[in-house]
Structure 1
Amino acid sequence: MVFSPALRRRLLRGMSCAAGGTAVLGLGQVAKLRWQYECPGEPVGQRHGNAGAAFQGKPLKLLFVGDSIAVGVGAKVAAPLQAACACRLASLQRRPVEWRTIAANGADVRELNELLEPGSNGDSQVVDLGFDIAVVLCGVNDGKKFWQGGRCRCSPRGYYIYINSTQKDVEHIGKYAITVLVGFSMFFGAILGVFV
């Protein structure tokens, strides 16, 4: 199909106007969200529990460490992801599962790392609890806080070091450790790969 030069110009002009209009609407939406967005509150409920009570055997102990996703911000009940994971694991393993969550709304990897370190009195939230599996849910707030105040808050190499440190802390706590980078942008992940 061949278009005449006049028709091509009209099509390009129309597409340019449509793209410009979409950009203006998008910027308006960004501005509105920036000034009017209110973060949903933390849900009520327990951040620990048991699953698979009908099964016999030694309970599998599961620990979740994370940010607002682990807290359950935006959900109707606290820690829905953990409860669903524990129920599924109990049905797959045919044994009871005890789970616990250590989380802070808005925490980045550094702050999660601090949650796992012993306090000034030597106590940690997770010492001597003997978890079999530990899952770290992080990345959303790191992406949001990456550029703060017009400058980089943490270099990709520094981020990688914090992830490894958190992973080692969690491996010390449990037999198996899984780090899930939730909402981690592909761009930042690609940059991180260069520094590793």
Structure 2
Amino acid sequence: MSEFRPPRRLRLSRAIAAAQAPVLLPQGRRLRASTPRLPDAPLPWHGRVDGRGESAASGASRPLRLLVIGDSTAAGVGVDHADLGLGGRLAEALSARTGRPVQWWAAGRNGATARDLVRQFLRPALEQPYDLVFLTVGANDALGLRSARAFRRDIRRILERTFAAHPQTALLMSSLPAFFRFRLLPDPLRRSLYRHSQALEREARALVDAHPRSHMSPPPPPYTEGFFASDEFHPSAIGYRDWAEFAVDDADSVGFLRLLDDH
């Protein structure tokens, strides 16, 4: 069987962006100058959601342990309390699906790439065991026009090191943002970012979905009214809720959450 080759527009996404640089670079500078820079959610980046009908003190069942690791979305940019960010919202969605309490932690940094996670955050984050690791990365790799080969290498390292440290964990990776739906992005910057993000996502999906204990979410549905924070780039509390519910619903629908039953 011949090897599958991605569409030419994905294979050449960096070259196309480079050719458009005289237009894209000024657009990017104007966008950075005009877009408000929102802070991370205040610390602490951890919390607990009780299981169905359970008080925090009852201890009826061991909580699922969730790590959210990644970029600004792991850091809760766009909300004023970490419980309303991705970590807290994923814990809510998981608890609602499983009926179990969920203890969650988040690690990462605004602006982090996959390489930054490998070099700075992964090892300390994996010092304790987790039942589920949620990986949210790639947007900054796309914004920085990192090569698909480099991104694939870093995702492979994240997978290898996560499962080497905790063979029985499960890893769920988010799809990359649907940049073509970001209203604040002008064309052709919007089209260029989306095209390159799809090239990166294809590489990540091939690795993640090949591992028996990992899964990558499908592309997101259209963003709902109120999804974005005031910068029109990061999710709001509503956006994080919608994202978390979409990711958990998909993981449940394909049977991925059954991996958590053993914990």
Same fold, judged at TM 0.5 (above): yes
Pick from 177, 181, 186 the counterpart of residue 175 of structure 2: 181
**Higher percent of residues as strand:** 1
Secondary structure of the 1:131 match is coil
Pick from 103, 113, 117 the counterpart of residue 112 of structure 1: 117
Per the TM alignment, residue 168 of structure 1 is displaced from its structure 2 partner at its CA by 2.2
Q: 1:161 maps to what in 2?
A: 153
Stretch deviating more after TM superposition (30-39 or 101-110): 30-39
Q: 1:70 maps to what in 2?
A: 74
Q: In the superposition, relative to structure 1, how do residues 33 and 71 fare at CA in structure 2: closer, same or farther (>3 Å)?
A: same
User: Given that residues 167 and 179 in structure 1 are in contact (C-alpha distance below 8 angstroms), is that contact kept between their aligned partners in structure 2?
Assistant: no
Per the TM alignment, residue 77 of structure 1 is displaced from its structure 2 partner at its CA by 1.6
Per the TM alignment, residue 125 of structure 1 is displaced from its structure 2 partner at its CA by 3.3
Aligned length, in residue pairs: 157
Percent identity, aligned pairs only, is 24
Counterpart CA distance in 2 for 1:60 and 1:189 is 31
Secondary structure of the 2:104 match is strand
> For the aligned residues, what is the CA RMSD?
2.9
User: Given that residues 134 and 173 in structure 1 are in contact (C-alpha distance below 8 angstroms), is that contact kept between their aligned partners in structure 2?
Assistant: no
Q: Deviations over 1:74-116 (max 9, x none)?
A: 2122252211111121122122111111111111000011234
Unaligned 5+ segments in structure 2 are: 1-25, 55-59, 179-192, 207-263
Secondary structure of the 1:169 match is helix
Matches within 5 A, 1:12-91: 32-52=30-50, 54-55=53-54, 56-78=60-82, 80-91=85-96
Matches within 5 A, 1:134-173: 134-146=133-145, 154-173=146-165
Structure number with greater Rg is 1
Unaligned 5+ segments in structure 1 are: 1-27, 119-123, 147-153
User: Given that residues 38 and 78 in structure 2 are in contact (C-alpha distance below 8 angstroms), is that contact kept between their aligned partners in structure 1?
Assistant: yes
